[in-house]
Copies of this chain bind each other. A is one copy, B any other.
Amino acid sequence: MTQKQEQLSKNQQIVLSIIERAKGPLKAYSILYNVQKRGIKAPLQVYRALEKLIEAGKIHKIESKNAFIACKNSDCEISKTTAFSICNNCEHVKEIKNSKLSKYLSNFADNSGMKYKKYNLEFFGLCKNCKLKQ
């Protein structure tokens, strides 16, 4: 019987460590550049690791930026509900962890008869710093 993978493979660990140490979201080819000294040579190796890391809930994809960020919420085991704040000026991205918000969205139902088990929300605005400088 095949079980859900527990342990990360070598390439997955390498890619994850790069993303975790980054200050913000990283793009796939920027990750590639960063891991070439560690033996990962091809885009596909990076994309495959990214795919597994997303499935494992270790990272999230910021869709509007095609970039990847580490999940800092330990309870986000399988990341089906994600929310981010994105600064339009400095591009700073932060995952929003707000239980009211996630409850609200997890329970949201419109008249379509559709029950949503997964969502991704991206907020845009100016962060505190950038607001002051304006």
Contacts and interface: CB of A to CB of B under 8 A. Distances in A.
Band of interface residues on A: 20 to 34
Contacts of A98: 110
Copies of this subunit: 2
Contacts of A54: none
A118 B108 contact: no
B117 A125 contact: yes
Interface in A22-45: none
The winner among A101, A121, A126 for most chain B CB atoms within 10 A is A121
Nearest to A113: B128
Contacts of A126: 114-115
A116 B120 contact: no
A63 B64 CA distance: 6
